[in-house]
Structure 1
Amino acid sequence: MTGSGLILIDKPDGMTSHDVVARVRKAAGTRKVGHAGTLDPMATGLLIVGVNSSTRLLTYIVGADKEYLATIRLGAGSTTDDAEGDLLAPVSQHALDAVADDAIAAGIATLTGEIQQIPSAVSAIKVDGKRAYARVRAGEQVELAPRAVTVSEFELLATRRIDGAIDLDVRVVCSSGTYIRSLARDLGTSLAVGGHLTALRRTRVGVFSVRDAHDLATLDAEAALIPAVDAATDLFERLDLTEQQAIDLTHGRRIHVADREGPGGEPVAAVAPNGALVGLIEFRGKEARTLVNFPTDEAVGRA
Protein backbone atom coordinates (compact mmCIF):
# COMPACT_ATOMS: atom_id res chain seq x y z
CA MET A 1 0.00 0.00 0.00
CA THR A 2 1.37 3.38 -1.05
CA GLY A 3 1.34 6.13 1.57
CA SER A 4 -0.09 9.61 1.25
CA GLY A 5 1.34 12.15 -1.16
CA LEU A 6 1.38 13.52 -4.67
CA ILE A 7 2.53 11.83 -7.87
CA LEU A 8 3.47 13.92 -10.90
CA ILE A 9 2.45 12.19 -14.14
CA ASP A 10 3.45 13.12 -17.67
CA LYS A 11 0.11 12.30 -19.31
CA PRO A 12 0.41 10.72 -22.75
CA ASP A 13 -1.67 11.70 -25.76
CA GLY A 14 -5.00 9.92 -26.19
CA MET A 15 -5.76 9.23 -22.52
CA THR A 16 -8.32 11.01 -20.38
CA SER A 17 -7.38 12.29 -16.94
CA HIS A 18 -9.81 9.69 -15.56
CA ASP A 19 -7.81 6.98 -17.35
CA VAL A 20 -4.67 8.21 -15.61
CA VAL A 21 -6.36 8.14 -12.20
CA ALA A 22 -7.48 4.55 -12.83
CA ARG A 23 -3.90 3.52 -13.68
CA VAL A 24 -2.51 5.21 -10.57
CA ARG A 25 -5.15 3.54 -8.39
CA LYS A 26 -3.92 0.18 -9.60
CA ALA A 27 -0.24 1.08 -9.22
CA ALA A 28 -0.73 2.57 -5.75
CA GLY A 29 -3.07 -0.12 -4.47
CA THR A 30 -5.71 2.33 -3.26
CA ARG A 31 -9.04 3.68 -4.48
CA LYS A 32 -8.44 7.09 -2.93
CA VAL A 33 -6.81 8.87 -5.86
CA GLY A 34 -7.75 12.16 -7.52
CA HIS A 35 -6.20 14.74 -9.82
CA ALA A 36 -5.74 18.51 -9.84
CA GLY A 37 -7.03 19.85 -13.15
CA THR A 38 -8.27 17.91 -16.16
CA LEU A 39 -6.25 17.59 -19.35
CA ASP A 40 -8.12 16.82 -22.58
CA PRO A 41 -7.28 13.50 -24.28
CA MET A 42 -5.30 15.27 -27.03
CA ALA A 43 -3.21 17.14 -24.44
CA THR A 44 -0.03 15.84 -22.85
CA GLY A 45 2.04 16.92 -19.90
CA LEU A 46 1.76 17.51 -16.20
CA LEU A 47 -1.13 15.93 -14.32
CA ILE A 48 -0.85 16.13 -10.54
CA VAL A 49 -2.37 13.15 -8.78
CA GLY A 50 -3.16 12.98 -5.06
CA VAL A 51 -3.02 9.65 -3.24
CA ASN A 52 -4.89 8.81 -0.02
CA SER A 53 -5.25 11.76 2.38
CA SER A 54 -3.21 14.01 0.07
CA THR A 55 -6.27 14.30 -2.15
CA ARG A 56 -7.07 17.03 0.40
CA LEU A 57 -4.21 19.09 -1.07
CA LEU A 58 -5.66 19.04 -4.58
CA THR A 59 -8.16 21.82 -3.81
CA TYR A 60 -5.24 24.15 -3.19
CA ILE A 61 -3.39 23.11 -6.37
CA VAL A 62 -6.28 23.39 -8.83
CA GLY A 63 -6.25 27.18 -8.57
CA ALA A 64 -2.51 27.59 -9.21
CA ASP A 65 -1.24 29.30 -12.34
CA LYS A 66 -0.27 27.06 -15.25
CA GLU A 67 2.17 27.06 -18.15
CA TYR A 68 1.50 25.46 -21.53
CA LEU A 69 3.27 24.91 -24.83
CA ALA A 70 0.80 24.83 -27.70
CA THR A 71 0.43 24.95 -31.47
CA ILE A 72 -2.29 27.17 -32.92
CA ARG A 73 -3.31 26.59 -36.54
CA LEU A 74 -4.69 29.61 -38.35
CA GLY A 75 -6.83 29.09 -41.45
CA ALA A 76 -9.94 27.36 -40.10
CA GLY A 77 -11.88 27.05 -36.89
CA SER A 78 -13.27 23.80 -35.52
CA THR A 79 -16.44 22.74 -33.74
CA THR A 80 -14.44 22.09 -30.56
CA ASP A 81 -11.80 24.80 -31.04
CA ASP A 82 -9.19 22.05 -31.30
CA ALA A 83 -8.10 19.27 -33.65
CA GLU A 84 -10.56 16.74 -32.17
CA GLY A 85 -13.55 18.53 -33.66
CA ASP A 86 -14.84 18.90 -37.20
CA LEU A 87 -13.07 21.62 -39.17
CA LEU A 88 -15.14 24.57 -40.31
CA ALA A 89 -14.82 26.07 -43.78
CA PRO A 90 -11.19 27.05 -44.41
CA VAL A 91 -10.24 30.48 -45.70
CA SER A 92 -8.43 31.02 -48.99
CA GLN A 93 -4.68 30.98 -49.35
CA HIS A 94 -4.96 34.62 -50.39
CA ALA A 95 -6.56 35.48 -47.02
CA LEU A 96 -3.79 33.65 -45.18
CA ASP A 97 -1.08 35.36 -47.21
CA ALA A 98 -2.61 38.70 -46.18
CA VAL A 99 -2.07 37.94 -42.46
CA ALA A 100 1.06 39.89 -41.55
CA ASP A 101 3.40 38.91 -38.76
CA ASP A 102 2.68 42.27 -37.12
CA ALA A 103 -1.04 41.47 -37.10
CA ILE A 104 -0.38 38.11 -35.40
CA ALA A 105 1.74 39.85 -32.76
CA ALA A 106 -0.97 42.46 -32.20
CA GLY A 107 -3.62 39.76 -31.86
CA ILE A 108 -1.53 37.94 -29.28
CA ALA A 109 -0.98 41.18 -27.37
CA THR A 110 -4.74 41.79 -27.26
CA LEU A 111 -5.21 38.37 -25.65
CA THR A 112 -2.55 39.02 -23.00
CA GLY A 113 -3.30 40.36 -19.52
CA GLU A 114 -6.67 40.36 -17.79
CA ILE A 115 -9.21 39.39 -20.44
CA GLN A 116 -12.80 38.26 -20.76
CA GLN A 117 -12.87 34.79 -22.31
CA ILE A 118 -15.80 32.72 -23.52
CA PRO A 119 -14.98 29.06 -22.76
CA SER A 120 -15.32 26.46 -25.49
CA ALA A 121 -18.84 25.07 -25.80
CA VAL A 122 -17.39 21.58 -25.29
CA SER A 123 -15.80 22.44 -21.95
CA ALA A 124 -16.60 20.69 -18.68
CA ILE A 125 -18.40 23.74 -17.30
CA LYS A 126 -21.83 22.86 -15.95
CA VAL A 127 -24.91 24.46 -17.47
CA ASP A 128 -28.01 23.87 -15.33
CA GLY A 129 -26.31 20.91 -13.68
CA LYS A 130 -25.12 19.25 -16.91
CA ARG A 131 -21.65 19.47 -18.49
CA ALA A 132 -21.55 21.78 -21.50
CA TYR A 133 -19.87 19.14 -23.68
CA ALA A 134 -22.65 16.66 -22.87
CA ARG A 135 -25.27 19.18 -24.00
CA VAL A 136 -23.36 19.80 -27.24
CA ARG A 137 -23.11 16.06 -27.93
CA ALA A 138 -26.85 15.80 -27.37
CA GLY A 139 -27.38 18.32 -30.16
CA GLU A 140 -28.12 21.35 -27.99
CA GLN A 141 -26.87 24.86 -28.69
CA VAL A 142 -24.70 26.00 -25.78
CA GLU A 143 -23.66 29.59 -25.16
CA LEU A 144 -21.41 30.15 -22.18
CA ALA A 145 -20.95 33.49 -20.47
CA PRO A 146 -17.59 35.27 -20.67
CA ARG A 147 -15.38 34.94 -17.61
CA ALA A 148 -12.39 36.92 -16.38
CA VAL A 149 -9.05 35.14 -16.77
CA THR A 150 -5.44 36.31 -16.68
CA VAL A 151 -2.95 35.48 -19.41
CA SER A 152 0.26 36.72 -17.83
CA GLU A 153 2.49 35.55 -20.71
CA PHE A 154 1.58 34.74 -24.31
CA GLU A 155 4.82 34.24 -26.19
CA LEU A 156 5.17 33.41 -29.88
CA LEU A 157 8.00 30.89 -30.25
CA ALA A 158 7.81 30.07 -33.96
CA THR A 159 5.72 30.76 -37.07
CA ARG A 160 5.40 28.24 -39.91
CA ARG A 161 3.56 29.24 -43.08
CA ILE A 162 2.42 26.11 -44.87
CA ASP A 163 -0.07 25.40 -47.65
CA GLY A 164 -3.53 26.25 -46.34
CA ALA A 165 -2.51 27.22 -42.82
CA ILE A 166 -0.23 29.19 -40.52
CA ASP A 167 1.05 27.24 -37.51
CA LEU A 168 2.08 29.18 -34.42
CA ASP A 169 4.08 27.57 -31.62
CA VAL A 170 3.34 29.48 -28.42
CA ARG A 171 4.02 29.45 -24.70
CA VAL A 172 1.22 30.56 -22.39
CA VAL A 173 1.28 31.26 -18.66
CA CYS A 174 -2.22 31.79 -17.33
CA SER A 175 -4.58 31.68 -14.41
CA SER A 176 -6.64 28.64 -13.54
CA GLY A 177 -9.75 28.38 -15.71
CA THR A 178 -8.11 29.72 -18.87
CA TYR A 179 -8.86 27.71 -22.02
CA ILE A 180 -5.93 27.60 -24.44
CA ARG A 181 -8.18 26.40 -27.27
CA SER A 182 -10.33 29.48 -26.70
CA LEU A 183 -7.21 31.61 -27.14
CA ALA A 184 -6.61 29.79 -30.45
CA ARG A 185 -10.21 30.41 -31.52
CA ASP A 186 -10.16 34.08 -30.53
CA LEU A 187 -6.81 34.77 -32.18
CA GLY A 188 -8.08 33.24 -35.42
CA THR A 189 -11.30 35.24 -35.18
CA SER A 190 -9.44 38.51 -34.60
CA LEU A 191 -7.36 37.85 -37.73
CA ALA A 192 -10.49 36.91 -39.74
CA VAL A 193 -9.05 33.54 -40.77
CA GLY A 194 -10.28 31.21 -38.03
CA GLY A 195 -8.09 29.21 -35.68
CA HIS A 196 -7.94 26.08 -33.60
CA LEU A 197 -5.53 24.21 -31.36
CA THR A 198 -3.54 21.30 -32.82
CA ALA A 199 -1.20 20.49 -29.91
CA LEU A 200 -1.15 21.23 -26.19
CA ARG A 201 1.34 20.32 -23.47
CA ARG A 202 1.08 21.44 -19.84
CA THR A 203 4.57 22.09 -18.53
CA ARG A 204 3.92 23.57 -15.09
CA VAL A 205 1.25 23.83 -12.40
CA GLY A 206 2.22 26.23 -9.63
CA VAL A 207 5.55 25.06 -8.19
CA PHE A 208 5.42 21.67 -9.92
CA SER A 209 7.13 21.06 -13.28
CA VAL A 210 6.65 18.38 -15.91
CA ARG A 211 10.45 17.90 -15.77
CA ASP A 212 9.87 16.04 -12.50
CA ALA A 213 6.92 14.00 -13.80
CA HIS A 214 6.86 10.23 -14.31
CA ASP A 215 6.00 8.06 -17.30
CA LEU A 216 2.70 6.32 -16.66
CA ALA A 217 3.76 3.15 -18.50
CA THR A 218 6.67 2.52 -16.13
CA LEU A 219 5.24 4.09 -12.98
CA ASP A 220 6.54 2.89 -9.61
CA ALA A 221 3.99 4.59 -7.37
CA GLU A 222 6.00 4.12 -4.17
CA ALA A 223 9.18 5.61 -5.67
CA ALA A 224 7.33 8.44 -7.43
CA LEU A 225 5.36 9.54 -4.36
CA ILE A 226 6.08 13.01 -2.98
CA PRO A 227 5.17 12.56 0.71
CA ALA A 228 2.37 14.77 2.01
CA VAL A 229 4.65 16.85 4.22
CA ASP A 230 7.05 17.57 1.33
CA ALA A 231 4.21 18.41 -1.02
CA ALA A 232 2.61 20.74 1.52
CA THR A 233 5.86 22.52 2.36
CA ASP A 234 6.59 22.93 -1.37
CA LEU A 235 3.22 24.64 -1.70
CA PHE A 236 3.04 26.64 1.51
CA GLU A 237 5.02 28.28 4.27
CA ARG A 238 6.17 25.74 6.87
CA LEU A 239 5.57 26.01 10.62
CA ASP A 240 7.39 23.57 12.89
CA LEU A 241 5.18 22.80 15.87
CA THR A 242 5.93 21.90 19.45
CA GLU A 243 4.59 18.59 20.70
CA GLN A 244 1.75 20.35 22.50
CA GLN A 245 0.83 22.46 19.48
CA ALA A 246 0.66 19.32 17.35
CA ILE A 247 -1.65 17.69 19.90
CA ASP A 248 -3.86 20.77 20.12
CA LEU A 249 -4.28 21.08 16.36
CA THR A 250 -4.96 17.35 16.02
CA HIS A 251 -7.82 17.75 18.50
CA GLY A 252 -9.25 20.77 16.71
CA ARG A 253 -8.00 23.37 19.16
CA ARG A 254 -6.49 26.70 18.10
CA ILE A 255 -2.87 27.44 18.85
CA HIS A 256 -1.08 30.65 19.79
CA VAL A 257 2.28 31.44 18.20
CA ALA A 258 3.85 34.31 20.11
CA ASP A 259 6.53 35.22 17.57
CA ARG A 260 4.21 35.10 14.57
CA GLU A 261 4.38 38.22 12.42
CA GLY A 262 2.71 39.30 9.24
CA PRO A 263 -0.83 38.92 7.87
CA GLY A 264 -2.69 35.66 7.59
CA GLY A 265 -4.91 34.44 4.78
CA GLU A 266 -2.62 31.94 3.06
CA PRO A 267 -2.55 28.34 4.34
CA VAL A 268 0.50 27.27 6.35
CA ALA A 269 1.82 23.70 6.51
CA ALA A 270 1.98 22.67 10.18
CA VAL A 271 4.63 20.01 10.82
CA ALA A 272 4.95 17.88 13.97
CA PRO A 273 8.33 17.36 15.73
CA ASN A 274 8.55 13.88 14.15
CA GLY A 275 8.30 15.42 10.67
CA ALA A 276 4.71 14.39 9.94
CA LEU A 277 2.23 16.80 8.39
CA VAL A 278 -0.38 17.66 11.01
CA GLY A 279 -2.40 19.76 8.64
CA LEU A 280 -2.90 23.07 6.89
CA ILE A 281 -3.63 25.94 9.21
CA GLU A 282 -4.75 29.54 8.84
CA PHE A 283 -3.52 32.44 10.94
CA ARG A 284 -5.50 35.37 12.28
CA GLY A 285 -2.87 37.47 13.95
CA LYS A 286 -0.94 35.16 16.27
CA GLU A 287 -3.78 32.62 16.53
CA ALA A 288 -4.09 29.70 14.12
CA ARG A 289 -6.89 27.28 13.37
CA THR A 290 -6.94 24.09 11.33
CA LEU A 291 -8.15 24.22 7.73
CA VAL A 292 -7.37 20.58 6.87
CA ASN A 293 -6.23 17.82 9.22
CA PHE A 294 -4.03 14.90 8.15
CA PRO A 295 -3.83 11.49 9.80
CA THR A 296 -1.17 11.47 12.50
CA ASP A 297 0.03 7.95 11.68
CA GLU A 298 1.17 8.70 8.13
CA ALA A 299 4.77 8.30 7.07
CA VAL A 300 6.93 11.40 7.31
CA GLY A 301 8.69 13.04 4.40
CA ARG A 302 12.21 12.87 3.08
CA ALA A 303 14.99 13.24 5.61
Structure 2
Amino acid sequence: MFLAEDKMHRWWWEPMPPEERLALLDVLSDALFASEQWHGIEIDSSLLSYSGLNSTDVLDSYREQVFNDEEPLDVPSIVEKLGGALAGFETVPNAVGLGALIISMILEIVGKSLGKKTMGTAEMLQRVFAEEKGNEVRDLMDEYLKHLQINLGKPQLQLAETRQIELDLSAQLTRLKNSMLVDGHMNSMLLKQWVNGAAFHTQMLIHQARLEEADGSRAVRAAGVYQQQLNVIIDRYKKYLIGITHITILTTRDQSTTYILSFNEGPLSGYSAPWYALQYKSQFTDTQMVEHLFSKQQISWTTSYFTDLAANIPTLVRQHATFQIQN
Protein backbone atom coordinates (compact mmCIF):
# COMPACT_ATOMS: atom_id res chain seq x y z
CA MET A 1 0.00 0.00 0.00
CA PHE A 2 2.80 2.40 0.80
CA LEU A 3 4.55 1.56 -2.44
CA ALA A 4 1.40 2.26 -4.44
CA GLU A 5 0.88 5.56 -2.65
CA ASP A 6 4.49 6.49 -3.26
CA LYS A 7 4.11 5.78 -6.95
CA MET A 8 0.92 7.76 -7.08
CA HIS A 9 2.73 10.66 -5.45
CA ARG A 10 5.66 10.50 -7.86
CA TRP A 11 3.30 10.42 -10.84
CA TRP A 12 2.55 14.08 -10.35
CA TRP A 13 6.10 15.30 -10.64
CA GLU A 14 8.47 12.71 -12.06
CA PRO A 15 8.84 13.03 -15.85
CA MET A 16 8.40 10.00 -18.06
CA PRO A 17 11.79 8.68 -19.25
CA PRO A 18 12.45 9.64 -22.91
CA GLU A 19 12.63 6.03 -24.08
CA GLU A 20 9.26 5.19 -22.51
CA ARG A 21 7.71 8.36 -23.84
CA LEU A 22 8.95 7.52 -27.35
CA ALA A 23 7.71 3.94 -27.04
CA LEU A 24 4.26 5.16 -26.03
CA LEU A 25 4.13 7.61 -28.93
CA ASP A 26 5.16 4.78 -31.28
CA VAL A 27 2.39 2.52 -29.99
CA LEU A 28 -0.23 5.23 -30.40
CA SER A 29 1.04 6.11 -33.89
CA ASP A 30 1.03 2.48 -34.97
CA ALA A 31 -2.50 2.09 -33.60
CA LEU A 32 -3.70 4.96 -35.78
CA PHE A 33 -1.91 3.86 -38.95
CA ALA A 34 -3.16 0.27 -38.56
CA SER A 35 -6.76 1.29 -37.92
CA GLU A 36 -9.62 1.34 -40.39
CA GLN A 37 -10.07 5.03 -39.65
CA TRP A 38 -6.71 5.91 -41.24
CA HIS A 39 -7.26 5.92 -44.99
CA GLY A 40 -3.74 7.06 -45.74
CA ILE A 41 -2.34 9.89 -47.83
CA GLU A 42 0.16 7.77 -49.72
CA ILE A 43 0.66 7.48 -53.46
CA ASP A 44 -1.00 4.30 -54.67
CA SER A 45 1.25 1.25 -54.75
CA SER A 46 0.54 0.52 -58.43
CA LEU A 47 1.43 4.06 -59.49
CA LEU A 48 4.60 3.86 -57.41
CA SER A 49 5.57 0.49 -58.89
CA TYR A 50 5.48 1.87 -62.43
CA SER A 51 6.96 5.31 -61.67
CA GLY A 52 10.49 4.23 -60.85
CA LEU A 53 13.59 3.41 -62.83
CA ASN A 54 12.72 -0.31 -62.84
CA SER A 55 9.17 -0.18 -64.24
CA THR A 56 10.17 -2.45 -67.14
CA ASP A 57 11.43 -5.10 -64.72
CA VAL A 58 8.21 -4.84 -62.69
CA LEU A 59 6.13 -5.37 -65.83
CA ASP A 60 8.24 -8.28 -67.09
CA SER A 61 8.01 -9.93 -63.69
CA TYR A 62 4.24 -9.59 -63.72
CA ARG A 63 4.05 -11.05 -67.23
CA GLU A 64 5.96 -14.10 -66.00
CA GLN A 65 3.59 -14.41 -63.06
CA VAL A 66 0.54 -14.31 -65.32
CA PHE A 67 1.80 -16.74 -67.95
CA ASN A 68 3.77 -19.07 -65.70
CA ASP A 69 2.01 -22.42 -65.58
CA GLU A 70 2.82 -26.08 -65.10
CA GLU A 71 1.56 -26.76 -68.61
CA PRO A 72 2.79 -24.71 -71.59
CA LEU A 73 0.36 -21.92 -72.44
CA ASP A 74 -0.57 -20.72 -75.90
CA VAL A 75 0.14 -17.13 -74.97
CA PRO A 76 -0.72 -15.53 -78.34
CA SER A 77 -4.12 -17.23 -78.40
CA ILE A 78 -4.84 -16.27 -74.79
CA VAL A 79 -3.92 -12.66 -75.45
CA GLU A 80 -5.95 -12.61 -78.65
CA LYS A 81 -9.00 -13.88 -76.78
CA LEU A 82 -8.67 -12.09 -73.46
CA GLY A 83 -6.05 -9.38 -73.85
CA GLY A 84 -8.24 -6.60 -75.18
CA ALA A 85 -5.97 -3.85 -76.45
CA LEU A 86 -2.98 -6.23 -76.52
CA ALA A 87 -4.66 -8.48 -79.10
CA GLY A 88 -2.67 -8.61 -82.33
CA PHE A 89 0.55 -7.34 -80.75
CA GLU A 90 3.78 -9.27 -80.37
CA THR A 91 5.65 -6.26 -79.01
CA VAL A 92 4.59 -2.90 -77.57
CA PRO A 93 6.93 0.14 -77.67
CA ASN A 94 7.49 2.61 -74.82
CA ALA A 95 6.49 0.05 -72.20
CA VAL A 96 7.85 2.12 -69.32
CA GLY A 97 6.20 4.38 -66.77
CA LEU A 98 2.53 4.89 -67.62
CA GLY A 99 3.11 2.79 -70.73
CA ALA A 100 4.01 -0.13 -68.47
CA LEU A 101 1.15 0.66 -66.09
CA ILE A 102 -1.47 0.38 -68.81
CA ILE A 103 -0.06 -2.94 -70.05
CA SER A 104 -0.19 -4.20 -66.47
CA MET A 105 -3.87 -3.26 -66.31
CA ILE A 106 -4.54 -5.27 -69.47
CA LEU A 107 -2.57 -8.24 -68.13
CA GLU A 108 -4.77 -8.18 -65.03
CA ILE A 109 -7.75 -9.16 -67.17
CA VAL A 110 -5.79 -12.10 -68.53
CA GLY A 111 -4.47 -13.03 -65.10
CA LYS A 112 -7.92 -13.05 -63.51
CA SER A 113 -9.29 -15.28 -66.27
CA LEU A 114 -6.43 -17.72 -65.64
CA GLY A 115 -7.01 -17.67 -61.89
CA LYS A 116 -3.71 -15.94 -61.15
CA LYS A 117 -3.00 -13.52 -58.34
CA THR A 118 -3.07 -9.97 -59.68
CA MET A 119 -1.20 -6.81 -58.70
CA GLY A 120 -4.42 -4.85 -58.26
CA THR A 121 -3.37 -2.25 -60.83
CA ALA A 122 -6.86 -2.17 -62.34
CA GLU A 123 -8.27 -1.04 -58.97
CA MET A 124 -5.84 1.87 -58.61
CA LEU A 125 -8.41 4.63 -59.15
CA GLN A 126 -10.92 2.92 -56.90
CA ARG A 127 -8.38 2.76 -54.08
CA VAL A 128 -7.50 6.44 -54.44
CA PHE A 129 -10.97 7.89 -54.98
CA ALA A 130 -13.18 5.22 -53.35
CA GLU A 131 -16.81 5.57 -54.44
CA GLU A 132 -16.84 9.35 -54.70
CA LYS A 133 -19.10 10.64 -57.44
CA GLY A 134 -18.37 13.41 -59.92
CA ASN A 135 -14.62 13.67 -59.27
CA GLU A 136 -12.96 15.48 -62.17
CA VAL A 137 -9.41 14.41 -61.28
CA ARG A 138 -10.42 10.74 -61.24
CA ASP A 139 -12.38 11.05 -64.48
CA LEU A 140 -9.47 12.67 -66.32
CA MET A 141 -7.02 10.02 -65.10
CA ASP A 142 -9.48 7.32 -66.14
CA GLU A 143 -10.00 8.93 -69.55
CA TYR A 144 -6.27 9.13 -70.16
CA LEU A 145 -5.71 5.49 -69.23
CA LYS A 146 -8.50 4.52 -71.63
CA HIS A 147 -6.88 6.45 -74.47
CA LEU A 148 -3.49 4.90 -73.74
CA GLN A 149 -5.13 1.52 -74.34
CA ILE A 150 -6.97 2.65 -77.46
CA ASN A 151 -3.77 4.11 -78.92
CA LEU A 152 -1.45 1.33 -77.79
CA GLY A 153 1.50 1.12 -80.16
CA LYS A 154 0.60 4.47 -81.78
CA PRO A 155 2.96 7.02 -80.22
CA GLN A 156 1.74 10.05 -82.18
CA LEU A 157 -1.86 9.51 -81.12
CA GLN A 158 -0.74 8.94 -77.52
CA LEU A 159 1.23 12.17 -77.69
CA ALA A 160 -1.76 14.16 -78.93
CA GLU A 161 -3.98 12.79 -76.16
CA THR A 162 -1.30 13.43 -73.54
CA ARG A 163 -0.92 17.07 -74.55
CA GLN A 164 -4.65 17.66 -74.31
CA ILE A 165 -5.53 15.77 -71.14
CA GLU A 166 -2.53 16.86 -69.06
CA LEU A 167 -3.65 20.49 -69.38
CA ASP A 168 -7.14 19.60 -68.19
CA LEU A 169 -5.78 17.52 -65.31
CA SER A 170 -3.44 20.33 -64.26
CA ALA A 171 -6.37 22.75 -64.03
CA GLN A 172 -8.41 20.33 -61.91
CA LEU A 173 -5.47 19.75 -59.56
CA THR A 174 -5.25 23.51 -59.04
CA ARG A 175 -8.95 23.57 -58.12
CA LEU A 176 -8.45 20.70 -55.69
CA LYS A 177 -5.44 22.40 -54.09
CA ASN A 178 -7.38 25.63 -53.67
CA SER A 179 -10.29 23.72 -52.18
CA MET A 180 -7.95 22.58 -49.39
CA LEU A 181 -5.90 25.75 -48.92
CA VAL A 182 -8.35 28.54 -49.74
CA ASP A 183 -11.80 27.10 -49.14
CA GLY A 184 -10.82 25.20 -45.98
CA HIS A 185 -11.91 21.75 -47.17
CA MET A 186 -8.86 19.98 -45.77
CA ASN A 187 -9.01 16.26 -45.02
CA SER A 188 -6.99 13.11 -45.61
CA MET A 189 -9.13 11.97 -48.53
CA LEU A 190 -8.67 15.18 -50.54
CA LEU A 191 -4.94 15.25 -49.81
CA LYS A 192 -4.60 11.66 -51.02
CA GLN A 193 -6.49 12.49 -54.21
CA TRP A 194 -4.39 15.56 -54.88
CA VAL A 195 -1.02 13.91 -54.30
CA ASN A 196 -1.94 10.92 -56.49
CA GLY A 197 -3.21 13.25 -59.19
CA ALA A 198 -0.03 15.34 -59.03
CA ALA A 199 2.14 12.22 -59.23
CA PHE A 200 0.09 10.95 -62.17
CA HIS A 201 0.29 14.31 -63.95
CA THR A 202 4.07 14.35 -63.56
CA GLN A 203 4.21 10.85 -65.06
CA MET A 204 2.12 12.11 -67.99
CA LEU A 205 4.69 14.83 -68.62
CA ILE A 206 7.48 12.25 -68.43
CA HIS A 207 5.62 10.09 -70.96
CA GLN A 208 5.11 13.14 -73.17
CA ALA A 209 8.83 13.96 -73.08
CA ARG A 210 9.64 10.35 -73.91
CA LEU A 211 7.33 10.42 -76.95
CA GLU A 212 8.72 13.81 -78.05
CA GLU A 213 12.29 12.65 -77.44
CA ALA A 214 12.67 15.77 -75.28
CA ASP A 215 14.88 16.25 -72.23
CA GLY A 216 12.04 16.20 -69.69
CA SER A 217 12.75 19.70 -68.38
CA ARG A 218 9.03 20.50 -68.25
CA ALA A 219 8.39 17.43 -66.13
CA VAL A 220 11.28 18.41 -63.85
CA ARG A 221 9.80 21.86 -63.34
CA ALA A 222 6.36 20.38 -62.67
CA ALA A 223 7.83 18.06 -60.03
CA GLY A 224 9.49 21.07 -58.40
CA VAL A 225 6.23 23.01 -58.35
CA TYR A 226 4.34 20.05 -56.91
CA GLN A 227 6.93 19.59 -54.15
CA GLN A 228 6.56 23.25 -53.20
CA GLN A 229 2.78 22.98 -53.21
CA LEU A 230 2.87 19.73 -51.24
CA ASN A 231 5.03 21.36 -48.57
CA VAL A 232 2.41 24.09 -48.13
CA ILE A 233 -0.46 21.60 -48.12
CA ILE A 234 1.29 19.34 -45.61
CA ASP A 235 1.88 22.28 -43.27
CA ARG A 236 -1.85 23.05 -43.39
CA TYR A 237 -2.64 19.34 -43.01
CA LYS A 238 -0.56 19.24 -39.82
CA LYS A 239 -2.66 22.04 -38.35
CA TYR A 240 -5.78 20.16 -39.41
CA LEU A 241 -4.59 16.97 -37.67
CA ILE A 242 -3.75 18.88 -34.49
CA GLY A 243 -7.37 20.00 -34.41
CA ILE A 244 -8.80 16.48 -34.74
CA THR A 245 -6.25 14.41 -32.79
CA HIS A 246 -6.53 14.20 -29.00
CA ILE A 247 -4.98 12.16 -26.19
CA THR A 248 -7.14 11.19 -23.22
CA ILE A 249 -5.66 9.47 -20.15
CA LEU A 250 -7.90 7.31 -17.98
CA THR A 251 -6.78 5.78 -14.68
CA THR A 252 -8.49 3.07 -12.65
CA ARG A 253 -8.38 1.88 -9.06
CA ASP A 254 -6.18 -1.09 -9.97
CA GLN A 255 -3.48 1.38 -11.02
CA SER A 256 -3.79 0.74 -14.74
CA THR A 257 -3.68 3.51 -17.27
CA THR A 258 -5.41 3.71 -20.62
CA TYR A 259 -4.21 6.17 -23.23
CA ILE A 260 -6.95 6.86 -25.77
CA LEU A 261 -6.03 8.42 -29.07
CA SER A 262 -9.07 10.12 -30.57
CA PHE A 263 -8.91 10.78 -34.29
CA ASN A 264 -11.98 12.63 -35.45
CA GLU A 265 -11.96 11.26 -38.97
CA GLY A 266 -13.03 8.11 -37.10
CA PRO A 267 -12.80 6.82 -33.49
CA LEU A 268 -9.95 4.60 -32.30
CA SER A 269 -9.89 2.06 -29.53
CA GLY A 270 -7.66 2.92 -26.60
CA TYR A 271 -4.22 1.62 -25.83
CA SER A 272 -3.81 0.13 -22.33
CA ALA A 273 -0.42 1.00 -20.92
CA PRO A 274 1.35 -1.06 -18.21
CA TRP A 275 0.37 -0.13 -14.67
CA TYR A 276 3.76 1.39 -13.92
CA ALA A 277 2.96 4.24 -16.27
CA LEU A 278 1.25 5.75 -13.24
CA GLN A 279 4.71 6.55 -11.90
CA TYR A 280 5.07 9.32 -14.41
CA LYS A 281 3.22 12.37 -15.47
CA SER A 282 2.34 12.25 -19.15
CA GLN A 283 4.31 15.04 -20.79
CA PHE A 284 3.22 15.23 -24.39
CA THR A 285 0.51 17.31 -25.94
CA ASP A 286 -1.82 16.74 -28.88
CA THR A 287 0.58 18.82 -30.97
CA GLN A 288 3.52 16.62 -29.99
CA MET A 289 1.47 13.55 -30.85
CA VAL A 290 0.90 14.90 -34.36
CA GLU A 291 4.57 15.88 -34.68
CA HIS A 292 5.43 12.26 -33.93
CA LEU A 293 2.96 11.07 -36.57
CA PHE A 294 4.76 13.29 -39.07
CA SER A 295 8.07 11.61 -38.26
CA LYS A 296 6.69 8.27 -39.45
CA GLN A 297 7.11 7.02 -43.01
CA GLN A 298 3.34 7.12 -43.59
CA ILE A 299 3.61 10.93 -43.71
CA SER A 300 7.33 11.79 -43.81
CA TRP A 301 7.65 10.57 -47.43
CA THR A 302 5.93 13.78 -48.51
CA THR A 303 8.99 15.88 -47.67
CA SER A 304 10.99 14.65 -50.66
CA TYR A 305 8.89 12.54 -53.06
CA PHE A 306 8.70 15.00 -55.96
CA THR A 307 12.27 16.18 -55.37
CA ASP A 308 13.50 12.59 -55.62
CA LEU A 309 11.36 12.02 -58.70
CA ALA A 310 12.75 15.14 -60.37
CA ALA A 311 16.28 13.81 -59.94
CA ASN A 312 15.31 10.65 -61.86
CA ILE A 313 13.43 12.32 -64.71
CA PRO A 314 16.43 12.82 -67.07
CA THR A 315 16.98 9.06 -66.89
CA LEU A 316 13.29 8.15 -67.05
CA VAL A 317 12.66 10.08 -70.28
CA ARG A 318 15.48 8.20 -72.00
CA GLN A 319 13.93 4.81 -71.25
CA HIS A 320 12.22 3.31 -74.30
CA ALA A 321 11.81 -0.36 -73.44
CA THR A 322 9.77 -2.63 -75.68
CA PHE A 323 7.40 -5.12 -74.08
CA GLN A 324 7.47 -8.66 -75.43
CA ILE A 325 4.08 -10.36 -75.16
CA GLN A 326 5.79 -13.72 -74.89
CA ASN A 327 9.26 -13.98 -73.41
**TM-score bracket relative to the smaller structure:** under 0.3
Greater helix content: 2
Structure whose CA Rg is larger: 2
TM-score (norm 2): 0.26
Whose RCO is larger (CA < 8 A, sep 6+)?
2
